[in-house]
Structure 1
Amino acid sequence: MDPLSITGSIIAILQLSAKVLAYLNDVKDASKDRAQCEIEMSNLYSLLVSLRSRLEEGSASQPWYTAVRALASENGPLDQYKQALETLQAKMNDGSRLKKVGEALMWKFREEEVMSFLARIERLKTLIGVALELDHFKLSQAIKDETTQLRKQVPAIQSGIDRIQQNYDSTKHRALLDWISSSDYPAQQSDIISRKEKGTGQWFLDAPEVSRWLNEATTTLFCPGIPGAGKTMIAAIAIDYLLNTAQPGAHRVAYVYCNYKAQNEQDVFHLLTAILKQLVSGQPSTMEHIERLHRTHADRGTKPSLEEITVALRNVLDHCPPLYIVIDALDECLNDTRRQLLARLDDLRAGRNVSLMVTSRFIPDIESAFKAALRLEVRASREDVKRYISSQMYRLPACIQRDAALQDTVLVMILDAVNGMFLLARLHVDSLLDKRTTKAVKMALAKLTNDADALDIAYEEALHRMKSQPKGDHELAKRVITWITFAKRPLTTTEICCALAVEPEETELDSDNVPDTDDIVSVCAGLVVVDHESAVVRLVHYTTQEYFERTGDAWVPDGQLHIARTCLTYLCFDAFQHGACSTEKDYEERLRRHQFLEYAARYWGEHARAVEADIADQICIFVNSNALHCAVQARQFSWQTPGNRHYSNSTPLCEVACLGLAIVARTLASTTSGSFTSMVKAKANDNYSRTPLELAASEGHCEMVKMLLEYKADINAQHRTFGSALYSASSGGHEQVVQILLDYKADVNPQNTWNRPLHAASSNGHEQIVRMLLANQADVNAQDDVLGSALYAASASGHEQIVKLLLANQANVNAQTGTSRGALQVASERGHEQIVKTLLANKADVNAQNGRSSALCLASANGHEQIVEILLANKADVNAQSGRGSALYLASEQGHDQIVKTLLANNADVSLQGREGSPLYVACVNGHVQTAKILLENHAGVNAQGRFYSNAMHAAAYEGHTELLDLLITNSSSSLPQDYYGRTLLWLAAAGGHAATVEALIHKHNMDPRTADNLGRNPSWIAGKKGHGVVLKLLQGYDGEPNAGQAAASDRRYDQSRLLCDVCTSSIPRGVSYYHCDHCSGGDWNVCDDCIKCGATCMDTTHVLVKPTTFVNPADILMIRGM
């Protein structure tokens, strides 16, 4: 090695060291380890500068250079130190993120690892010091000892870095999952199943209907039951059985517990994202679908649309083993939510192995929806109730516990009274807790009944027990049940304890006035329970809520007023008079210190609306104080994504208008005189600039809308996002507000090309509003930038009656929309069969190619069998190409076997190439065995080339689809092919890490594990390089020893989420150099340094390979190209 080469190595190390030192110098809150690292690296840096100067001054002919060369030899001290720095740099996304990576390294390494790194620096300092002293022998010996020591430490250092990467990935994944959904149904499942008595529920698992549901694909099990029968526990038992009895990976489970107290939060979006979160959390390979959504929305502070979530779910389900979805208490959802959820689930289940179980009360429209499903009524079995009562005997008074005969009487009489309701058994047991004599027990038992009103009688008895307590306990119980009954969402134990501690006219919370959780439960006669996993306090059952809502005026007539006053008193505390926090960190600290703030800020207005006249003065004081801005910030932040939250200021009138507090608004008008008119016309001082009128209209507040119009509010004021008042009212389905605005001559045809009222009503299914707008000359064929035509919007959302209404009013059935698709295409894509029939009956063009995709292609891709048949019957072109391929190609890609058969029966061209290859090729890439069989039976070509793999066989080998590979080899008339680079099927299977496929190729198909590719590298080499230890060991057992290049490559660790080398299929980590061809594989062809060194080229030797200066994320490339 010449002096120039040695000097070059030192310069490279100096450059890398400078970057790390710059980071260490910037770190805040530094530890002593950081300081010591900075000092030692600085000292080493100085020595390296001195060595560089000595080399530049000297001559290569001097004897000194003979020894110094060893410092810079391959894998020598300088080289290994440089590799360590490069490894660190490879973990960095780019220069701007050096600090983040350094922080992970310094603060996540164990102390002994940090000391090891410092020791390495010290040893290298010693070597350089020896070199500068010109002690040749000592230098040579020291270098030899140091090299040995460094090699021993490489695995430990790599292990530490790998652990950091794993921790980072895990944290990142958790953050993404929380971003997509804040739900935590697993915690609820744990809490419910923990209350299960041993042995109960076995009748359900033994039922033949359950056996069929578990063992027959794509079945639906409907489990109705009377209130209190134990439906939720049965759902939990089913979930627990599915989670704990199957082999890992045999099937997946997703579930939701619907809750009457969370109806506003549990919309279709919430329920589907909760299912998506559960599926992805157990299948990290599908995380990319959430990452893609996050990249699109996070920086903008937006959330994905319902359609985007549905698409992501489809993609996850396409690569998911058999799935069981369990939905408990479907009847506790709002009617519209329920209908939409079932429609979405039907769409997602089409063509996929998804089984569904639903529990519900006996609701006619729900029973009708599941009339074709397996049906198993849930009733509390006598044996289960008996086990429960027996398990509770220890809680009962001593007079029962010491009298076996009385225990038998208790058991029998409660069993006879429950009438299939577990809840009654619980209430009856609780009713005996204060009966201290045998006579009192017998008298209580004599009152038990199994009449239709048995539950109400049990609740009345519980209320009587509460009233019989000391006055303080009775008052506390009333306030607890008031809060739980009227709260707008479930409260945590901390929240309700804070609420109970608020005192009228106080300006801070007295910690001495906060009750204990155990006390608030104990005074409520068994009607209140705590879910310990989620720390939520709730009533014992949905029927308890219904009972108190029905009878609330009698036992607590001022409940809403008490809650509204409490919220306002809390929000006016001195701690909130400074207004909004300036940073998100400060806000989080405020929320931590004041744990009732989020609830009070978010829901005070809803409680106040019911008692507005009684507290108008208190509301006016609040909205005119700085505390309003604190509350607005808390409300806004409650639905924004942590880390990307922004406070948007508001005005008193905007807040009052949004909440529909018309009395308060008139009070404000009377106190502000002439300035109120300007307040009416002023927009909120926020990012949205919404007017009071538009805010009131969006929430459907008729009186508020009338009042604002009386004060000359601009009825046609427009906003890019929220539109006009008429648009917002039409979108929200507020018919009365729409009529008021039309009476005031609101413009139904705004001049702008977005936010059109007719389109909003059509998209959201508000038929009566559509009629009203059409009657007022709304333009039926106007185009909206977002929603296209009104007909397109209604067709996309599946509103059949609105589609018919629009067509009857001369809507253009073949109008091209801003989305570049027509109504027929979007209806076919989303599976709206009746709308497809309606559109075709009105002469929709079945072969329209708007957006480069026909209706047949879209229906085929999404698995809508009936629609495919309808379109073909209407002369759809079976071989029409979309931007990705033909209908056959798209159906084969997704594994929709019945559609594949239908298309082939209608003369679909089996060899017609799509974007990635032939239909057979994409079926094999995605592992669809049955689809491949159908295509092969119809003479599909086994050797047709694909985009990323040479042909279907190579795709199946690399993806590890052993059964498919056997099928293809059996149907191949030629010898087993090698690809452009000479890679055999065995080589590709080894590259993919598929031991079963490797073994099958060797045993069944006699493939030689020693056969190398064109660059001289055999299957063992690639298995070793990519870290597939099981495959490597298997190949070595067949004399497939690694050949040249293996030793250097096997030490590399590749991140499987990065660019892939198209020659050896290994990942190319960030920061590592590689080469790129702008022509091959559609401009997405890359090759790693290792392959270049072995002589690799791209598929056309005339192309010039370029070395990118920065790493390009492949997902970004695809997104930029619109793929």
Structure 2
Amino acid sequence: MADPLSITALTIAVGEIIGSLMKYTKSVKDSRPDARKLSEELFALKGILEHISTQVQPLSESKRLGSSSSEFLTTTLAKTDETLRSLLLDLGEPASKYKRLKQKLEWPLTREKLDGHLVRLERVKSCLMLVFTSDSNALHRDLHVKFRDLTTSLEDNLKIRKDEKFSNAHQDICRWLAPISPTSLHLRASKARLDQTGKWFIDTIFKEWLWGHDAYQQTLFILGKCELSVFNSHAVDELISMSADVQDVTFGYFYCSFGDVATQDPTNILGSILAQLSGSNPSILERFWPLYEAKTNSRAHKHPLDIANIEDAIIEHMSGDKPVVLLVDALNESCHSETILKSISRIQSKLPNMRVLLTGTAYTSSVEQASIMNMSVRSMKDDIDTFIRFTLEDDDMLKRLSQDLKDQIWEVITKGADGSFRWVQLSLDSLRSLRTVKKIREALQTLPRSLRDTYVSILERISENDWEISRAAFLWLSFSNRSLTLDELNEAVVLEETSTVVDEDTKLISPLILLEICQGLIIQDEFGKVNLAHASVKDFLTSEWINSSSVQYFSLNPSIAGKTLMRNCLTYLCLDNFQSGYVHSIDSILEREIKHPLLEYAAHFWASHGQSRNFDYHDHQIVDKLFSSRTLPRRGNFGVWVQTLTPYVDVEMIETTHPLYYAASFGLVPVVKAILEASPDIDIDAPGGQFGSTPLYVACWRGNPEVVELLLRAGADPYYPDPSTGLTVFSIPQKPIFAHIKEILSKAPLIPRDVPTRHTRSETPYSETGSQPKRRALGGDIEVPKEDSGSQKGAQSTGIEQTLPARSSDPLPLLFPSRDEFLPQIIELYPQLQPALAQRLAQEQCQRYERLARMREKHSQDIKTHSCRSGEHCIAAGIDAASAPYRQDSTVHQGRNILVNSYQNCTSGEETSCVLQFPPGVPLPPVQRLPAQFECPICFELKKFIKPSDWAKHVFEDVQPYTCTFPNCPDPKTFKRKADWVRHEMERHRHPDAWACYFPECGLTSPRKDNLIQHLVREHKVRSETNMETLWEMIEQCYRKEPPREERCQFCGDNLRSEKELIVHMGKHLQEIAMPVLGIIKKSAGF
């Protein structure tokens, strides 16, 4: 490679020659044409040299030039140097003075020399251009190779990304098709066996069956009372090994479990098998992609999977010569075993290359052409023998025993095993727990003779103090709809029907205590799930035999177990822990579920436990308790339940969805009946849920035919389009699961409409009256007016109302209840109140009643004398006060019916906006719309109201619900405005902010800054002309602030984090005490 410095030297030499030529053109007249020619060639040469100079270093670093190109460039540069030297010599300054003088007068180059120089320069340029072109071609070739490699790399990268995208999408659709994975159950089954056991089954029976050609051997049904999962897990492991060895076998497997309802669902079972088969044949999922993509649309209902669709996909794509194996374990533990077998039989009848391995405790006629294998005691004997010997040699405790004792243990247990691995395992476990050889020898003489006797022995060892929580644990683990974690179970077992809170005082001290108490009967797997140790435990606890045994306390009744769990779940959801209602962030939701482990299970499964049709009054009450909590802030316990069900929906959906929607969705027939009977005026087609569907639509979609018929009879509109799809219920898919629904809908025009009668809350739950929270308040709940009346209904009967005269038209007599008539109600409502404060609140309620009653009495007299100041707006004038509003506002409800209906819904917590506009206890304004001018039905003053908050503010000013909560307050009085009450408490009693006088000797402390300024000016003669910056510096130095501290509410006992929270909290209590007075007055006065 040429030296860059030599190229630079040549460039400099060219510059010098051009400089000499410029001198000649100035001094010699005839030199200009020749000098111009030379200059042009030299400038061209200089440009080439400069270009090559910029390329030499990159070419050198990347080694793009070959050795031949490098030598040619070096030779060319040498010739260039020689040419330039020759030209410079001819143009250079001569040594003698005479020649220098002659050079100034004549051009030194003859025509012959000039032409020679021009030819040599042209030749050098050509050579350099050739080198440059050669280098460029080499560079282009190299770039082409690089681009080709880059293109290949990008294509490979795109392929990888495409494969990853497909793999992720494939995993997503598989998770959708198979929400339950059999992997954990397979690991549990594999862990429970020894590799040495069951090999005889794989090496002989299984392989002969797998590769046989007998049609009657297409299905192998293994029957028996022993642990058949051992053989199924062996078979699965063998098929996995075959697949790893590139043997052409496709298989799918599943384990049913009595402890998890989802593992018993035929759709989940076949969906899981389909997902596994798609690993070798992805095209099997083609028909499910549209359904899956529809599912990902947040504004459309998820189409339920049709089991026939799964069957068709397997039949279509699994045909051929390649063996296909399906394995389903423990069919007897699924309540849908007949449906599963029918589906498998249909698939098998179409695929001669399919083999099916089933295990269960009893044969069913649904299986055709099946080879039945009964696992007898004799067939299990060798495996049991192997298991015992392995345990005696492997266990840390038992392997220390003498060989004679080991042989004795082997002999006793082998003789009593009777083919039961479970009995063998429990017997060895009991021997393992003993600490001396003597105890082991004695235990061998008294070992239980059967598995049933073993369970009795274990239960008898449980302390009587632990009976209650042990039985609760057995109940939950036997009948829960999925496996529970230990934290969930620990909360579940401490629940009682009367529980109102779960806290540190009610929880189990040790989180592992249940595993210790119930050792041998319950286990915790490696995934943290707690289960009964074996299906035989549930069989024993639910058997008839146990009812007459010494452990009959632990017997479980399957017929009432579901209802018991439903009540427990509802009791949990109604705990005071969840009265605060929904939260506004997913982090808060997760934090709540971590703090309350059982919440997720209770929210999702109480309804499925309660799908029986025999609800009694107690069941209705507890469901009503959950639904009635909608009147609490942020929908209370009801809001927590709905948010746990659907954590990613907007809280607006929680605010607006009526319980009827959820009852219809879950198929709770008794609950739907009760709601419809209690609320005949309910908007039965009100949209709800995350898709805004009607109760009828969601009942159809969920496949609840009885609910569908109930709703149609109650007047539900089947032609109401669903917002998410634009379709009516008549457009639900033509699938077998909707067949009954379709039949009912076809008769919809002929179904008679019922006209249910309204029941009061005392007669039946779920009534929609009452805007107050469920918590009892003085005077009872204030009811909402009907649509044709602007006034309120009377309050429910209370002790106070019974002592007051009730008239329909006469004016209220000047006879008022005493303090002693209000006091018992307040003490019953808040038993923790200090007596002095309770008496003051009762006295102020008396005064409140008297003041409001006198207003009503005065208005009555004004009506008689025709002197009412409201004039034509007077209620007694019979004119609709809202008929002439002084300003229209399109943002407010237009029309009386809308306002009244909206407010009635609000009382049951159905409309978010109404709950915000009218606090609990505030009556509905007697107007068609706001803004409006009308006579207040409380103080009978003519007022103008712009928005609902103006009306609520006015009502509170009339009632004056706020009073000082300090028992020893020297100036107790009621306040119209909450701000005045807060200021009184903060300045007179609490003093969170204070300003101490700048002058220490004074000692004055003021709760307000402006008071301190006045004090400084008046008492200490601080001039107002004082520099303002100096004055404010003085004030800031005077500021004192108490740190926030936790305070306890003296009404209910709750602990609040700050005084601000406490003030807001107690304000609601004061409203709860004061506002019912409006209903008491209305009822007693007869208005």
Q: What TM-score results when the alignment is normalised by the length of structure 1? A: 0.45
Greater radius of gyration (CA): 2
Q: What TM-score results when the alignment is normalised by the length of structure 2? A: 0.46
